[in-house]
Structure 1
Amino acid sequence: MSNLQPLPWKDLSQGEVRCVRADSPIYDYAIVNDGKAFKVGYYNPQSPIKYATGFATIDDAKTWCWNHYNEKMQPYVNADSITDIANWFKAAKPEPTIDDLCVQIGCHLEEVAELLEALGLKDYDTHEQLTIDADHFKNKSKWALMKLTKLNYEQHIAIVDACCDINVTSVGVMQLLGGVDVLGAQREVIRSNNSKMVKGKFQYDENGKIAKPESYSKPDLTPFVKQGE
């Protein structure tokens, strides 16, 4: 079962000419009636416009578009959410730099601070310090970059160990919280992150953080978290 949102079809028909269009993070699709049958034109900036023809109904053409869209998005939406996330970052940062790492650590610390805030610990010193450190890394301060340039191999191992453990404990928190569809929630966040893509590419802010274009839609986690009795 796909965790992609349905293609957002818009009716652009004029008179007797039927035409519908849908834009997705990786391809644009347009379905028109050429007088005999429906055909699909699909476009990606990395390749010239292509066509699929011979569809008896507009619904047949939409089905073809949906199958094509699912196939092309598979590198980003594998069933294994860890692989899914890793592939997403490979697409966003195919040749990561120390600046990219610095910003990502800042984003990570920011999420930990948000967890403390959600627990009602915003007024604690730990939250304040995490927020300060997160800003240092997100803004690539000299202090943060110097920390990263001095990392040795043992520290690399320790960072990987900590991140793997964080993955495990994060899933544990969601599971033990009760009433949480952990995989469904993770897929919804991945779906939201995929909406930051514009024709298979990402946009970035002045610090190199992945930006949120008009195509972005926030994750809706309410279907995956049950309300208490």
Structure 2
Amino acid sequence: MTEHLLLSAHDLHKAYAGKPALQGVSVALQAGEMLALLGPNGAGKSTLLQLLTGLFSPDQGRITVVGHDMHRQPSRALAALGVVFQQSALDLDLSVQANLLFHTDLHGMPRAVARQRMADGLAAMGLGNQVGAVVRSLSGGTRRKVELVRALLHQPQVLLMDEATVGLDPASRQHLLDTVRGLCRTRGMAVLWATHLIEEAQVADRLMLLHQGTVRFDGSIDAFMQASQGGDFQTEVLRALDKPAL
């Protein structure tokens, strides 16, 4: 893995109506690295993703993406991010092509470049014949693939996936995982994969356990298992989330 920091978030705090959602969370992502962010519902995963994508500002802390400060240089920071949200952000009544062109237009991409990247991205996902399909007619798994194609069109260096496999069948979920894992290897992309599914986290390079807005563990899968009590991965994750800290 190339030791090149692409995303850094330091000492993030966020509260809603006085109730803490994140308390001193820090994240660092290197080029080519896949970090699995794992925690139960309500752990703070979505809040963290909302801060990293600039949807909300932290009450305290600093976020930089490829060296650009999210607060001072938001457009440059966001230009380096690709995001697939938990809730679909596609317009169901538009075609795949129209959805993708809307994204490339927002990024100021020339149409010739945009169409070539769209064709390449859809072909890589096995969706070359779906460019004219209305999104509403597509299956959940196919829509997720389209969202991933869209997130990659502007060639971001960091990819954020927020519970991206919710509602997918096992085969579609595995295909999406394999595709994203491959992006780390082939493009040197840094990926933050937020999930509440333990089996998804095991394919990552690194694991971060989040519970009630605090980090319970942050390190390699190997380091996590070496510090365990001898159980399998799922057992040890559940054990870690059920005690104050590792």
TM-score (norm 1): 0.30
The structure where helix makes up a greater share of residues is 1
> Quick check: which has more Rg, 1 or 2?
1
